Structure formats: structure tokens, C-alpha cells
Chain A
Amino acid sequence: MRKYLARRLILALATLFGVSVIVFVVMRILPGDPLVAMFGMEGFTKLTPSDRARLIADLGLADPLPVQYAHWIRDIATGSFGRSFFRGDSVRDLIVHRGPLSAEIGILAVLVSWVVGLPVGIVSALRPNSVSDNVARSASILFIAIPGFWLGMLIVLASLFWFGYKTPLRVIHLWQDPWANFQLVIGPAIVLGLGQGAYIARMSRSCLFEVIREDYVRTARAKGLVEGLVIMRHALPNALLPVVTLSGILMGFVLGGSVAVEQAFGVPGLGRSLVTAVIERDIVVVQNLVLLYAMIFVFVNIAVDLSYAWLDPRIRY
């Protein structure tokens, strides 16, 4: 187990190194000028070549690329993550302030996906081709097809025009005001969770569909166990393994989707910060947030792989 974990961690570091190099290089070869955001998108200012050179040097963009990369890694190692090009705000402060909101959205989205997806999958698998199965399958295809940001916008507009409601405009943490915090995170979590839940419903249906035809399930039924116990104790745990794997992969969709969904709901989380940073060409913020998202994705998938051993006694590392 330790050997396996060490190997996975080394591979994870290699993956993150690769991500860091890619995002670092991409941010420097993409067209665009951070000085435009700095001096105003209205375009009042025309910089002379010498002013431009001086400002670019002040931002640290005139250094050779390896030096710039080394500075970034140093900033990560010291935990500061560097400073935004523009206001001089620390990226660490940004993550600490807005990260909890995005984390809540991600965790709630996973919970919603399981709470919605699993029961739907079970009902579908146990009553194949019934009305409930057809409704569940149609709904799951619908939620896979609908873009999260569009559904988010519909929810925002419906809440506004029908109920005159709009979520709070500021970051409010769970420990500051749980109810206001809940209002901020629940919309994006439901939208992201329903999209994921649709995948989980389809996966759990097909897995359960196979498992309930296995010999050991038939044996359990033959022993006289009630159907509920047969499903919950014998069939479901064995059908869950691919669903857990899928959840780990879907975490990537949650992270990626949260960027657009936070924007649609106007939730001031990390996703929204990423959008603003891309528009402003705030390279420091973009590269740190992308690396953070990659780090979360990699470690969630390691955790998923490790959970196999706990879910399935046959698996040992």
C-alpha cells in the first residue's frame, strides 16, 4: 500500500509539473496584453515603447522564461503563490477568501449527484423499461445535454422575475452566516450536481443491471432475504465501484463547469476569479488557479483509487 501510494504521489508530482509547464508556456504565447487591463479597457492610454518595456519589466515578464518559472515555483513553495499583476493582491489571500465557496460548491455538487443519481439508477435498474425507467433515462439524457451555465441563467432569471430574488453579492462564509452562505452555493451545486447525477444514474443503472443477475444475488434471494436487503447489502456495494471511479473523473467536470456556472450565478468563487483573470491577462492568478484545479483533480483521483481497496476486499495494493 505504501509503495503504491508513493508511486502514485511521484506520478502525481510529475503530472503537476507537466501541467505547470503547459499553463506557464500557454499563458506566455497566447496573444494579449496585460497592460491593456492595467491602463483601462477604454484604451485612453498609448504607451511609448520605453514605458511599455519598463512596465513589462516591473511585472517580471521581461525576465528569461526559466527565471520566471523559477520565481513562480519559489512563490508556490513559500505558500504565497505570488501577487496579482494589477492590484498587488496576494493570490494566497484570493484562494483563502474565495476557495471555501468553490470547495463547498464542489462537495455539494458531488453529494447532489449521488443523492439524485443513485436512487434514479437503482429504480431504473430494478424496473427496466417501465415508465419510471423511461422517465429517469430521458431526464438523465436531458441533464447531460443541457449546458450548466444555461440552466444556471434560467434559474437566476426565474428566481428574479418570479420571486424577486437574487443571491448575495459578496462572499459570505459558512461560519459567518450559514443561511446566506447556503443561498450562495446551493444554485451552482444543484446545476453541477444534476449534470453529474445524470451520468451517475446511467452508470449505476447499467452496473446494477448486471450485478442483480449474478449468482450471488440469486443466492441471496434464494436464502429468503427481503429485496431491499439484497440490493443494499449484496448488489449495490459491488455495483458502486465503477460509479466511484466515474465520480472521481466527474470531479474534473465539476471543477471546469464551476467556472461557467459561478459566472452564471454571479457567485464570487474561484471560478469567477479565473474568468476575470483570463480577461485581464493576469498571468499569475491564471497559472496558480489552473495548477490548483489540476492538483485537486489529481489528488481526488488518487483518493478514489485508494477507496477501491476499502470498497472491494479483493483489491489489495
Chain B
Amino acid sequence: MSHIDRRTFLKHAAIATGGLAVASELLPSPVLAQEDSPLRPDPAARRGGTLRYAVHSAAAHFDIHQSGTVANIGPQGPMYDNLIRRDPRDGQTIIPDLAWKWDIAKDGKTYTFHLRKGVKFHDGADFTADDVKATFARIVWPPKGVVIPRTPLFAAVSEINVLDPHRIEFKLKEPRPAKFMLGSFASGWNVIVRKKSLEEHGGNLRQVMNFPGTGPFKHVSRVDKEIWIQERNPNYWNKGLPYLDRLEIYAIPPFDPANGSALLAGKLDYGRLLDPVSARKVKATPGMTSTDFYQTVVQAFFMNNKKKPFNDPRVRRAFHLALDKHVLVDVVKDVAPMMVGGFVYPFSEWASPAAEMSKRLGYQTDPKPAVQEAKKLLAAAGYPNGIKDLDFLVRDIATFRLWSVAIQAMLKETINVETKLRVAQASAWFDEAQAGNFDVAISAIVSTLLDPSDYFTAWYGKGGPQNYSLWENPAFHDLTSQIDHELDDARRKALVRKAEDILEQDPPLVPVSWEKIYDGWYNYVKGVNPYKIIGIYDVVRWDTAWLAK
């Protein structure tokens, strides 16, 4: 045994204490026994019954990883688990799922997940680290013919190593903020699928309706564009969950009054993406509840940067200031609930405070100062008499049709800009927008996370998948890279603020409004908490839902 003197002891103790302090910052995994889950069965919950639920809609294919629509994650979500997940009770906290514990190395470059033992897929096969590796290898490095929207979230991942059947590590080329990485792993889209399923279908599950998951519900039957029936998984690893015997998931398009009417008539127990009129009626009906909640979507007015006059930031800022966002939110209030916000999710920790925003030009309830500034900017850019004949590409959805008419009138009235509306169905809209065949356009863009490292790249990044304005700003792109790499929250927030300033002065788009959505349900549906969840992609499993009837 080597001799330890006082000096050596103190030195090691200091290192150990410091290490623990750093580790406590970087290792946020809750301390649980392996078989435990933070989601424990509620003794008050009643077991059994069928929950009849309607959600958008008939999926165009079955590969959740390749999808970007609730039409997949809505009906398929209950059949799968994630490595880690958002807590359905608050919609935010990241909690263990198939990984019961995780460690993050001190240098932030290695994430190790400890997997539960004894978990079975619905076909009876054991769940192991090989399945996790196969799942994430496909997400991080999609094979040819496979396109996965979440791939950019894992751009820093360089290796995925199976350490043993129940331990797996992800190595990063360079550290990323832990919140961002954990949020990416916890995204509802990143469900764990069997390695064998991927191998059997050449890594493409688009045409495979029922590939086995480990989730709380199992596939029973499905009729296209009509219903997906699932039953309780009796071998679910989280003993005692789910409470429901059966799920009947009806395919009803979003905001379709058929959803609200089916709910009000008692044909459904729970409706997601209700139209506002139905939501109000639900709220006024005894025994029923409705709430709105935040969605990870901004409704945006795009300006084609590759065309004059929108290659001039002054013109784009003039348009940004000329549009009265408060009025635009009001215009669609009977069609969809919306809120005013800037270029950063207004309800996220990264947003400028609401009080500050309300004083900022372009967001004030009194639009006059913003309009005066807009006129000055347009004159300085060489358009003192306004602009004529702009091609305005409008996506054929009720909200965009309403907004397009309001925006057309606003632009004409405030800065004498004349636009010609061209309404296009969704599929044609994306064709035209991606080809740059428009002067101005309106549609919605979506993100997986509220973290700027996700949507600053997707929406405003050079060549970003949803950067329909084809906007570029080297200073902003440089800041985005810094935001991606900065591990300190406070410094990261300061960088986001700087980036926001650039976006205000050189707008890539006009944030018309930020989307909220309505859910409605009968009060006997318990164990769900849409009040606090954000978006409709992460909390979709129904494992904690029960019926008090």
C-alpha cells in the first residue's frame, strides 16, 4: 500500500471535490435503481377501458424517423419508447426511458447511456444496445434513399459504440451544450426500433406498417385514413403502466370541425388540434375541458433574398415593421390561436422578455412609429413611392388565405406596396418556394427543439432546410456556430441576444405569429397534462392516461 501524506490527500480530495462539482453540473441523470422509472403508477388511477382519440391523420408512410408530421408521431407514438424522454407530467423535464441512467463525460464529448434489462419488443425479442446503435446510426448517418429531418441535431456525433449489451456511448467530435444534446435524444421522433427490423427492410421502414417497438401499446389493426387500434402491452417494462386497455386512434385532419363535432357528440374522448370554434364550445360544455398550448411552429412571411428589392435588408426590415402583428393575430382568431413574437420562440428561456419586446419597433400595439420607420427605410432603399407587382405565393390553408388578404391591404396602406396573390396547394407551394419562384410568400415552419441551435440553422442557416427566403448573413452564421459550441448557458444567451439583434435589422423573414393549438377532452380523461407541454411531437404516448368512468 502506497504511503499517502497530508499534502497528497488534500490534493486528491480537492480534485475529487472539484470533479464532483463539475460532474453534478454535467451529469443530470436522476439517481434511480435500474428497474425504477420516475413515472410510477398512480394508486388512484382506474385501470381498463378504451380511449377514443382523434389526431391528424393518415400518415403518408410509417417510418417515424423519416417523418416530419404529427400524422406519424400521433398514431404511432404509443407503440414505441425513447432512450430518454420528456416527462408527460410537465412536458419539459428530461427523464429516463429505455436508458435508466446516463453519464456525460467531463469534456462533454462522450454520452453514455445505461439501458434497462429485461425489456422486450412486441415480437418478444430482447431489447439491447445493438438496437439503440442501429436506431441512432440510421438517424445520424442515414443510408441512401433515407432522409431523416433530425440528422442535423446529431451532426457532432462521430462514433456510436456498444460497450456491452446494456451500455452504449455516443462520442462527439466536439462538445455541444448538454441541454441541446439531451433534448435531441429525448425528441419524440427518435423512437427505438429493432435492429432486425431495419436489416430486414434495407434500413427503410416507409412501407412497413407494424415494425415492433417496446412501447406501452401494441398494434392490433389499422384501416387507412380511418382508425388505428392498439391494445395494452402486458409485458411493458414499466410495470403498472399503461392503465388503458385499448386505444382507438381516429384519423381526422387538423382544425377540421369534424374533430370537434365528433368530440362534442361523444364519439371521441380526446381531440387534438381542434378548431377554435369547437374548442370554445368544448370549454363551455359541462364535463368537458379545452386548453390551448404552445406549438413549435412560427407562421412566417418570406421575402426572396435572391430577387430585388429583397436583397436589400432595409426593404426587408421595412416590410417587417409595416406588418402589425397584433392585428394579424386577431385576423385569424376564429381559425387558429396565435401569439405575437420575434425571431426566437417567445415562450422559451431564450426569448427577450415580453416587456422589452412590447417596446420594440414592429411589436408595439401602436404601429405608427414602426410604420414611419418603415417608410424611411423604403425611401432610403430607393423606393419612396412604394413597390408594385410583387408575386405573393400563398399556401392554401385558411389562416394563410386570411393573412394574405390582410397583409396585402396592410402593405398597400402603410408603405404603398402592391402584391398579387397566388394561392397554391401545399405540395405546389413547397415546389415553388424551394425553387425560389416568388417575391414574397407565406407558410409555417417547424422545429424539433426550442433550442436555437436547432432552428437557427434550419430556419435562418445558409442552405437551411426551411430557409425559404434564401437568406444569408455571415455575421449571423458565425454567431450560430458560436451558439452551437458555447457550453455556458449565460454566455450562450448573450450570443442569442446578439443574433436576435442581427435578425431584427436584417430580417430573413417576418414572424407573423407563433402558433398555439387546442386540445379538448371529457373530464373523465385523467393523467394527461396538455397545459404544460410544448408541441405535439414529444408527449404522445398515453402511458399515463386513464379513464375515471
Contacts and interface: CB of A to CB of B under 8 A. Distances in A.
Interface of A: 30-34, 36-47, 51, 54-55, 58, 84-89, 94, 97, 156-157, 160, 164-166, 168-171, 266, 268, 273, 276, 279-281
Contacts of B207: 87-88
B427 A37 contact: yes
Contacts of B258: 266
B225 A276 contact: yes
B266 interface: yes
A46 B145 contact: no
A273 B427 CA distance: 17
Size bracket, chain B contacts: 35 or more
Interface in B46-69: 54, 58-62, 66-69
Given A87-B224, A169-B227, A42 B265 contact: no
B265 A51 contact: no
A169 B61 contact: no
Contacts of B266: 164, 166
Contacts of B54: 169
Given A31-B424, A32-B428, A266-B258, 11 more contacts: A34-B427, A39-B66, A39-B147, A44-B448, A46-B465, A166-B265, A169-B227, A170-B226, A171-B223, A266-B261, A268-B225
B309 to A, nearest CB: 26
Nearest to A42: B446
Contacts of A58: 145
Contact of B58 (A31, A32, A44, A87): A87
By DSSP majority rule, is chain B's interface helix, strand, loop, or mixed?
loop
10 contacts: A33-B431, A58-B145, A84-B224, A157-B261, A164-B264, A166-B261, A166-B266, A170-B226, A268-B226, A273-B225
Contacts of B443: 43
A179 to B, nearest CB: 15
B262 interface: yes
Contacts of B226: 169-171, 268
B145 A43 contact: no
Nearest to A32: B427
B534 to A, nearest CB: 15
B466 interface: yes
Contacts, number: 141
Contacts of A273: 225
Given A41-B69, A55-B145, A33 B430 contact: yes
Contact of B427 (A47, A89, A160, A281): A281
A166 B445 CA distance: 34
B149 interface: yes
Contacts of A156: 261
B532 interface: no
A94 B446 CA distance: 32
B434 interface: yes
B267 interface: yes
Nearest to B430: A36
Contacts of B227: 169-170
A37 B57 CA distance: 12
A42 B444 contact: yes
A36 B426 contact: yes
B61 A32 contact: no
Given A32-B427, A45-B465, A164 B265 contact: yes
A133 B320 CA distance: 62
A165 B265 CA distance: 5
A303 to B, nearest CB: 32
B512 interface: no
B466 A43 contact: yes
A51 B147 contact: yes
Contact of B62 (A39, A51, A87): A87
B42 to A, nearest CB: 30
B348 interface: no
Interface of B: 54, 58-62, 66-72, 144-145, 147, 149, 206-207, 209, 223-227, 250, 252, 258, 261-262, 264-268, 297, 424-428, 430-432, 434, 443-446, 448, 464-466
A30 B71 CA distance: 25
A35 B72 CA distance: 15
Given A44-B68, A45-B465, A166-B265, A87 B223 contact: no
Given A169-B250, A276-B58, A41 B426 contact: yes
A268 B223 CA distance: 11
A33 B223 contact: no
Contacts of B145: 51, 54-55, 58
Contacts of B66: 39, 45
B266 to A, nearest CB: 7
B465 to A, nearest CB: 3
A40 B54 CA distance: 18
Contacts of A51: 145, 147
B425 A97 contact: no
Nearest to B56: A41
A157 to B, nearest CB: 8
Contacts of B261: 156-157, 160, 166, 266
A32 B60 contact: no
A31 B428 CA distance: 5
B538 to A, nearest CB: 14
Contact of B147 (A31, A41, A47, A94): A47
A165 B262 CA distance: 8
B60 A86 contact: yes
A43 B265 contact: no
A170 B223 contact: yes
B425 to A, nearest CB: 6
Contacts of A279: 425-427
B62 to A, nearest CB: 7
A45 B147 contact: yes
Contacts of B223: 97, 170-171
A160 B431 contact: no
A42 B61 contact: no
Nearest to B445: A43
A-B pairs, top 6 by smallest CB distance, nearest first, are A44-B68, A40-B69, A46-B465, A166-B265, A40-B68, A32-B427
Contacts of B225: 268, 273, 276
Contacts of B206: 38, 88
Nearest to B59: A87
A39 B431 CA distance: 13
Given A34-B427, A160-B261, A42 B69 contact: yes
Contacts of B428: 30-33
A32 B265 CA distance: 36
Given A54-B145, A268-B226, A279-B425, A168 B67 contact: no
A169 B267 contact: yes
Contacts of B61: 38, 86-88
A38 B67 CA distance: 8
